[in-house]
């Protein structure tokens, strides 16, 4: 069993702890926005450790859209590299945990469709995009069988 290494960012680590320790009944929204968050459990591409990353909840059918915005920071978040190296994740959405596979979306039309969904779910993504010159990575996560 791989070791779990929590996020070095206090507010992120604390959200993961509350969300998971409450079984998905507390700490499930982003601070004052009240908008829903999911927890993506994945594997570090260098350490092999278990990593847990809260992201905004953007649904697309049975799956989720994962947006590597990192608040419009100039660099991609590290979890993006982890998903590129190992597409297998678990997604906790409130009380439900589902094993999923992720796929990075590069097709322009598909990206545009998913971006609309993302902004509808979490309008600040549009401001984050305006803040950075990088192309914000987008992944889809699709069910790989219920746990």
Token pair 């889809």 in the structure block, residue: 140
By Cβ distance, which residue is nearest to ligand F42? 44
Q: Which segment (39-47, 86-94, 103-111, 138-146) binds ligand F42 by CB under 6 A?
A: 39-47
Residue 61 to residue 63: CA distance in whole angstroms: 5
Choice between 98 and 138, CB closer to ligand F42: 138
Residue 17 to residue 66: CA distance in whole angstroms: 20
Q: Looking at 30, 97, 117, 119, which residue binds ligand F42 (CB under 6 A)? A: 30
**Min dist. Cβ of residue 54 to ligand F42 (A):** 4
Residue 135 to residue 147: CA distance in whole angstroms: 33
Query: Six-digit token pair at 101?
Result: 């596979």
85, 46 in Cβ contact below 8 A?
no
101, 141 in Cβ contact below 8 A?
yes
- Told to check if 137 binds ligand F42 by CB under 6 A, we report no
Q: x-or-dash pattern for ligand F42, window 42-81, by CB under 6 A?
A: --xxxx-x-x-xxxx----------xxxx------xxx-x
Q: Which residues bind ligand F42 (CB under 6 A)?
A: 7-9, 12, 15, 30, 37, 44-47, 49, 51, 53-56, 67-70, 77-79, 81-82
């Amino acid at each position: 069993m791989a070791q779990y290494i929590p996020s070095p960012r206090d507010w992120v680590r604390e959200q993961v702890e509350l969300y998971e320790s409450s079984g998905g009944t507390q700490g499930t929204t982003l601070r004052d926005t009240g908008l829903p968050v999911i927890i993506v459990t994945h594997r570090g591409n260098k350490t092999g450790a278990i990593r847990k990353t809260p992201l905004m909840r953007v649904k697309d059918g049975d799956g989720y859209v994962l947006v590597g915005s990192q608040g419009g920071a100039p660099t991609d978040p590290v979890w993006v590299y982890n998903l590129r190296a190992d597409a297998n994740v678990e997604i906790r959405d409130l009380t439900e945990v589902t094993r999923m596979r992720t796929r990075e979306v590069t097709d322009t039309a598909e990206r545009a469709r998913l971006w609309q969904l993302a902004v509808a779910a979490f309008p600040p993504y549009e401001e984050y995009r305006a803040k950075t010159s990088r192309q914000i990575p987008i992944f889809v996560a699709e069910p790989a069988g219920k746990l």
